[in-house]
Chain A
Amino acid sequence: MSVAELKERHAAATETVNALRERLKQKRLSLLDTDGMWILEIFYFIAGYARSQARTPVSFGPTDLVCCRTLQGHTGKVYSLDWTQEKNRIVSASQDGRLIVWNALTSQKIHAIKLPCAWVMTCAFSPTGQSVACGGLDSVCSIFNLNSPMDKDGYSPVSKMLSGHKGYVSSCQYVPDEDTHLITSSGDQTCVLWDITTGLRTSVFGGEFQSGHTADVLSVSINGSNSRMFVSGSCDATARLWDTRVASRAVRTFHGHEGDVNTVRFFPDGNRFGTGSDDGTCRLFDIRTGHQLQVYYQQHGDNDVPHVTSIAFSISGRLLFAGYSNGDCFVWDTLLAKVVLNLGSLQNSHEGRISCLGLSADGSALCTGSWDTNLKIWAFGGHRRVV
C-alpha cells in the first residue's frame, strides 16, 4: 500500500475517532442531570443509568414515614446516637454531659451515665450491647460497662480509658462482632484502632510521618462486609479508605467535596460509601474504582447552603437520609438523586439542627438526634406493597 493511500486511510480513521468522540460527548451530556445542579461538569452516572432503565423515584404518601416516638430526657444538644445490633436500644450522647441508653420501643430510659467530661461528641454501642464507648474534647475514648453499678455520686465507673489521641475524639465505632476492638477518629488528624482489653493502640492511621489526612478527622465508618476496611472523612475535604493491616498509608483517597467531610457511612453492600459535607452535598463513592458515582445536592434559593451533618442509608440502600444544619432531614432516592421527602417539614419534626442519624439493625426505623435536645424515631406507617 502506498504512503498516499496510507495517509488517506489515516486521515479517515482520525476523522472517525473525532466524530465518534463528539457523538459520545453528546450522549454523555444527555445523561447529565442538570435539575438544580450548580456544577454541570459532574456526571450523574447512577441517576443517568437508572433513568435509562426507566426507573422512577420512590413515592411517599403523606403518612408513610411518620414520627412514632420522641425520646425526651436530655437537657442539652444531642450530638451522637447509636443503635444496638439486637433488641431496640439506642445510646445517645448530649452536651448535658450524659449518655442515655433508651428502650426505643417503650421510649423509656434504661441507663443514664454521668460523664466525667461533659464535652462529649460521639458514642457507640458494643456489638454485644454490654458496653458503650464515648469520646469528646477530653481526647479520651471512655468505655462503660452497662452491667456495672453506679457509685454514690451517681457516676458509672469507667471500665477502660483509651488515651493516646492528641486532639478531640470526634467519632468512634466498634469493630463488628468484636467487643474488644474499636476505631476512633480525632482532631489530631489520625484514626486509631484500639485493643480495649489492653487499652493500647493497635494501629495509628495517618499522622506526622505517614500519608494520611491533613486536617481534623471527623468521622469513621467500618465496612460491614469486610471489617478490615474502614473509611474516614476529614476537614481536608477528602475521604480516605484504610486497611487495618496497612496503617502506613490510605488504600485510596477520595476527592470531590469542597468543604469539611462531616460524616461518612458505608453503603449496605460494602462496595460503596456515602459522605456528607459542609459544601451542602452528599456524595457516593465506589471503593473499588475510586470513582464518585453520584452527587446529592438540592439547590437553595439563598446563598447560605446548609451543611450536611449526618447521613444513613436504608437497609437496601435505596434511600439516603441526610441531616442538615438548618433542621432539614432529606430522604434521597439514591438511584435517581432526587429528594423524595423532607422529614424536617413533617408534623412533629425537630426544631433545631439534625446532628445525628442512625438506622435500627433490621432497617425498620430511623432515629434522628437534634440540637433541640430530643431524639425521634421514624418508621413506615403506610400501606406496603410487595413486588
Chain B
Amino acid sequence: MQSDRSESASPITSRVQSFTATDTRGKHRIQAELKRLEQEARFLELMNEALVTYAILYSLVLCKITNLIELPSTRIELMGSSMETHLRIDMWPISSALVRAMRLNRVEAVQLRLAPTGLATWERDREELEQLEKMEKASAASKEMLSNVETKPDPLLPVTNGPIIPFWDRWFEGPQESKGCRCWIL
C-alpha cells in the first residue's frame, strides 16, 4: 500500500525532485569541467613554458653554430606581442641545464622570433635535445682540441709554432743509411 502511495505521489513533487537531481548533476558536471579546464590550463602553461625554454635552447645552439652575436636581452616574441622572459632555475624540465649552458658559454641572452611551421612531438624534441647536448659537448671538445693542437711546436709539420729546436734535424747529419754486414745477428 505504501508503495502505491509513493507511486501516486503528486506529479509536482516528483518533478521538483527530478529537477533537483538534475541540477546537482549539472553542478557536478560544471565543477568537473572547470577542474578539467583548470588542469588543462595548468598543463598548457607548463608545456608552453617548457617549449619556450626549448626554443631558447635551440636558438642558443643555432647561435653557436652560425657564430651569431648574442643580443643583450632575452626577448621572446609570441604571435607579434612582445614580452620579457626571465629564465628561472626551477623552470620545467630543462631550464637549469640551459642556465648552466648559458653560464658556461658566457651567453647572456638570445633573441628569437616564433614563426609557425608544422608540428612537433615531445619525444622527438627530447631526442633532439639529447643530440644537441651531445653536439654542444663535441663542439667544446673541438674548440679545445683546435687550440691545443695549434699552439704546440711540431717537428714534423711544415708550418709550426716556435721555437724551432736544431736537435730536430739530427736525422740529416752524419750517416743516413746502414749498408753494413748483418750476418753477425743471424
Contact = CB atoms under 8 A, between A and B. Distances in A.
Contact of A68 (B114, B145, B160, B176): B176
A334 interface: yes
A158 interface: no
Interface residues of B, number: 76
A100 B118 CA distance: 69
Interface string A302-329: 0000000000001111110000000000
Nearest to A100: B185
Interface string B156-186: 1111111111011111101111101010111
Interface stretch (B5-13, B24-32, B52-60, B94-102): B52-60
A53 B167 CA distance: 33
B142 interface: yes
A78 interface: no
A14 B168 contact: no
A87 B109 CA distance: 55
Prevailing SS type, chain B contact patch: helix
Contact of B62 (A6, A16, A24): A24
B162 A69 contact: no
Name, among B120, B124, B144, B162, the residue most crowded by chain A CB atoms within 10 Å (CB to CB): B120
Given A45-B138, A318-B157, A384-B160, A19 B117 contact: yes
Contact of A317 (B54, B141, B149): B149
B139 interface: yes
Interface residues of A, number: 87
Interface in B13-68: 37, 40-41, 44-45, 47-48, 51-52, 54-55, 58-59, 61-62, 65-67
Contacts of B93: none
Contacts of A1: 41
A288 to B, nearest CB: 8
A9 B161 contact: no
A15 B116 contact: yes
A385 B158 contact: yes
Given A112-B185, A377-B171, A380-B158, A24 B54 contact: no
B148 interface: yes
B138 to A, nearest CB: 4
Contacts of A73: 182, 185
Given A24-B61, A72-B182, A364-B167, A286 B175 contact: no
A109 interface: yes
Given A10-B47, A73-B182, A315-B154, A53 B138 contact: no
Given A15-B114, A105-B170, A27 B62 contact: yes
B110 to A, nearest CB: 11
Given A49-B146, A380-B168, A387-B159, A18 B120 contact: yes
B62 A289 contact: no
A13 interface: yes
A21 B120 contact: yes
A121 interface: no
Interface stretch (A56-64, A167-175, A179-187): A56-64
A228 interface: no
B1 interface: no
Contact of A384 (B41, B144, B158): B158
Interface of A: 1, 3, 6-24, 27-28, 31, 43, 45-46, 48-50, 52-53, 55, 58-61, 64-65, 68-73, 75, 88, 98, 100, 105-109, 112, 268-269, 271-272, 286, 288-289, 291, 293, 314-319, 334-335, 362-366, 377, 379-387
Closest 4 pairs (CB-CB, A-B):
A107-B178, A13-B51, A20-B58, A316-B154
8 contacts: A6-B41, A17-B58, A24-B128, A45-B135, A286-B137, A317-B149, A362-B168, A386-B164
